[in-house]
Chains A and B, each alone.
Chain A
Amino acid sequence: MSVIELSHREPPGAARAAMMLQRAHWAAELFARYDIERVRRIVDAVAAAGEAHAERYAEWAVEETGMGVVEHKVLKNVACSRELWDRYRDHDYVSPRILADDKVLELPRPAGVIFALTPTTNPIATVYFKVLLALMTRNAIVVSPHPGAKAVCADAVRVLSDAAVAAGAPDGCIQVVEEPSIPLIEALMTDQTTDVIVATGGNAVVRAAYRSGNPAIGVGPGNVPAFVDATADIAAAARAIVDSKSFDNSILCTNESAIIVEEEVAEQLIRELGRAGAHVCTPEEVERVREHLFPDHRMRLDLIGKSATVLAEEAGLTVPATTRVLVAPFSLVVPEEPLAREKLLPVLGLVRVPNTRAGISAAQAMLRATGAGHSASIHSTRAQTIMEYGAAVKVLRVTVNVGNSLGSAGVLTNLAPTMTIGTGFYGRSSLGENLEPRHLVNWTRVAYNADRSVPFDEFGGMQPWRLETVPTAASSAAPADPAPATPATDVLREEVRRLILEELKELTRQ
């Protein structure tokens, strides 16, 4: 117990964390001189380290957060380490580009220091993803994990950082805030040393990122309608939706929220959903789901990321042990209908519509409630409907005849593979695409006189940067004294709880 009242004017840890940014700044200066071979060696090593620990961290994350499914997290962790790197291995965000015809020389300029916020729902995959993107673009990164997943994230960042430095990355180019708190995060977001904030997480954090005065890439929440029209391959659609909805117990922002189905094929879809492992509730069961899982029209926060069978038990439903998703039919998409909103648990709403036009309207209504700019899915074989749906629903990606959770994230589609889905102007974001490496680097364009008589210069084979010194791992030379432990663990735990609750309330807001 401290006898002295500690009346910090700035949040505890802020000075230390600002020091991390400054260290990152030094690292970034050096990193920006690396050539493509050095960068590839580093990313190679870090991706391999991430993959090697994919299972351990999947287990740890489920244990620490109490959310999700270990096997699915393993898949995501691998997708965000080796598979991500496989996708970008041949990309080059490091070497100059010579556009001889335009007489323009383009020189890549990394952002510098990225301040990255990662969520509790996708803790490790997002850490892996952002760290690899930072490294591919020669940025330093300071990760601030969600307090609900801070232990596993801090460990993962250390492992990635060690792998990077061992492969020749500048000391301090990957760091982690070990004791994140809201005031601390706000202090770091507004710090002048932060070059760009990449915020994935609750709405509160994303808004704060945009208020910071620093460049920010923050993304909004999703609320994914899955429209199944009369022309769809119903059995395939049912399988895709159930697989997608049950993925990681539905804690991704890309998981489907509700099915919109044309009346004509509704009964058939319901049968197929049952075959695919969903339990379609009777009206009486839906009432129990509402009462127990959505009391007062709000999703129960303690059930986030729990499995369908656990939810069924909570609601007092008897379902087969193999049940992966609970489907709850409802009649009208209106803002106060919780079954039409984002649900971070494997309960899927289902609403019937008389025709295609009504289906599109229902999807629009869902996005009016929440999730604008994010994702929608459609199961159809009619191109005209697919195009009209894409043009009508206020989202920036529509996946076709695939499960949306991995579809929008670029795993089952050719969208950029990502853990950060840009929600664009509709979703109050500066980014309308899936976040990918190119978003973290600017280019200096060296442009010559357009007059044909003025020649362009020959830049082939030239290196724009010289790396005078080969970096050494200064910090690993001798271990420093560990920082004094935060005494108020209970206070912190309380704060974590409050933080999670606040964020989730945002989702269930009416």
Chain B
Amino acid sequence: MYDYGFFSYESKEDMLERSRAFWNPDKTDFWQDAGIDLVIDRREGYLFWDMAGRRLIDLHLNGGTYNLGHRNPELIATLEQAMQHFDIGNHHFPALARTALAEALVKTASPNMRRVIYGSGGGEAIDIALKTARHTKQRRKIVSIIKSYHGHTGIAVGTGDERFSKLFLSDHPEEFVQVPFNDLNAMEDALRARDVAAVIMETIPATYGFPLPAPGYLQAVKRLCEEYDTLYIADEVQTGLMRTGEMWGISKAGVEPDIMVIGKGITGGMYPIACCVVSEECSAWLKEDGFGHISTGGGAELGCVVSLKVLEICGRPEVRSMVHYIAERFQQGLHQIQEIYPDWFVGIRQDGVVMGLEFNHPVGAKLVMKHLYAHGVWAIFSTLDPRILQFKPGILLGPELVDEILDRTEVAIGKAYAEARSGARAAVTA
């Protein structure tokens, strides 16, 4: 009997049955088939425990949502305090916490940034960004990167892999153009007709396994945007909040975007909101018809208060210092592991604590994910390139846990290699 107070289950099997029955049968089964029988129970810091009591180190962090750890005590205290005074607020009125957060965000962003529009999740904030771009340029066309991921809401889904847009008959190929990453010629070809509202880019494409932008690539794209009169939207949902060692990955890359989208980690997984930061040029609709985008939960004030705390924490010099140490230790440790398995563990993509580990097998990362899970680490493969394991440690890790992660990773990579060599596919399907 698993009694959680608010609800209970007879057993883990009972829970999974009901998950299939009442929630999502395919997703539930997908993970069972992949050898990941995870039902997350208690969470704390960079650890969580499966229903069955197994301790796991979280290297997925929901794409950076738990950048500061699960149930960060400072964020819990902040939310509890905020609840003594605030709720989500009223989305029609000037609002205390929303305004305060907007001001704080604008201060951290590049100097051309002026205002913040709020959504309730990353996808919605991407939709806002795309709508804003279309309004600003009075054009429909959006250029994105092949295998990029910007969320599954109405407009955002069109920028991504067609697997998710076609499913819902939501693909609009005439409006969404996709070009390969790191290919400036293709980008220029796409922009040359000057009929594009915006280019949208993840600073480092997460779901594609964090291929690193070639040196100067992002800046060159920005220059092309200027040359062909289009907007640059930086999707900082996974690369923001010190994960690259700077507050925003795009600032580290030396690019001033016209629009910047922030989600996930901005509320530390406590009370979700997402933010779309825009330049003066892109603020036009906010003066013309401020009711243009409405979202009751967008910029919920409780989330705004938490976000202010997240920004303050991320801005501390201690955090900057630690990200640097953590990144360095992982770099050393992973390279040492790579020396053992040079033909299997063929690449390390790293910018700060944003990392992708590349394996020499079409679904290598799925194998490694499974063995990591068996050895107490949860890290997810890249949906859009299953050779790559997304390896996303938190920015407040201490040396002991980092060393523990590296120990576990070394063993898991070795076991996955053995499995790949023996040809056994086990429960892994492409």
Contact = CB atoms under 8 A, between A and B. Distances in A.
A410 to B, nearest CB: 35
Interface stretch (B1-9, B131-139, B313-321, B373-381): B313-321
A29 interface: yes
Interface in B6-44: none
Contact of B316 (A9, A27, A30, A483): A483
A474 B324 contact: yes
A273 to B, nearest CB: 53
A480 B396 contact: no
Interface in A143-159: none
A7 interface: yes
B399 A25 contact: yes
Nearest to B72: A15
Contacts of B107: 481
Contacts of A475: 317, 320-321
A474 B245 contact: yes
A95 interface: no
A483 B312 CA distance: 7
A16 B316 contact: yes
B325 interface: yes
A90 interface: no
Contacts of A27: 321, 325
Nearest to B400: A25
Nearest to B85: A4
B321 A474 contact: yes
B183 interface: no
Nearest to B86: A4
Interface in B307-352: 312, 315-326, 328, 332
Majority DSSP secondary structure for residues of B touching A: helix
A480 B399 CA distance: 23
Interface string B77-111: 10001101100000000000000000000011000
Contact of A480 (B320, B322, B326): B320
A171 B316 CA distance: 14
A193 B397 CA distance: 13
B398 A474 contact: no
A221 B343 CA distance: 65
B399 A478 contact: no
Interface string A200-244: 000000000000000000000000000000000000000000000
Contacts of B85: 3-4
B216 interface: no
Given A478-B246, A480-B316, A30 B325 contact: yes
A6 interface: yes
A29 B397 CA distance: 14
Interface string B408-430: 00000000000000000000000
A469 B316 contact: no
Contacts, number: 77
Interface in B230-264: 245-246
B73 interface: yes
Interface in A1-49: 3-10, 15-16, 19-20, 22-23, 25-27, 29-30
B74 interface: yes
A338 interface: no
Given A468-B332, A480-B317, A29 B399 contact: yes
A476 to B, nearest CB: 9
Contacts of B316: 16, 19, 480, 483
Contact of A484 (B74, B312, B320, B332): B312
A172 interface: yes
Contact of A26 (B74, B82, B399): B399
Contact of B320 (A8, A9, A15, A474): A474
A139 to B, nearest CB: 15
Interface in A354-378: none
A23 B81 contact: no
A27 B84 CA distance: 39
A477 interface: yes
Given A15-B74, A469-B328, A474-B245, A22 B322 contact: yes
Contacts of B82: 4
Nearest to A15: B74
A414 B240 CA distance: 57
A22 B319 CA distance: 10
Contacts of A472: 324
B325 A26 contact: yes
A152 B309 CA distance: 29
A168 to B, nearest CB: 15
Contact of A6 (B81, B312, B321, B323): B81
Given A3-B85, A469-B332, A16 B398 contact: no
Contact of B318 (A3, A6, A23, A484): A23
A26 B398 contact: yes
Interface in A241-280: none
Contacts of B246: 478
Query: By CB atoms of chain A within 10 A, which of B81, B312, B325, B328 has the most?
Result: B325
Contacts of A483: 312, 316
Interface of A: 3-10, 15-16, 19-20, 22-23, 25-27, 29-30, 171-172, 193, 468-469, 472, 474-475, 477-478, 480-481, 483-484
Given A472-B324, A480-B315, 10 more contacts: A4-B81, A25-B399, A26-B325, A30-B325, A172-B321, A193-B398, A474-B245, A475-B320, A478-B246, A481-B312
21 contacts: A4-B85, A9-B77, A19-B316, A19-B319, A22-B398, A23-B322, A23-B325, A26-B321, A26-B398, A29-B399, A30-B325, A172-B318, A193-B398, A474-B245, A475-B320, A477-B320, A478-B246, A480-B316, A480-B317, A481-B315, A483-B316
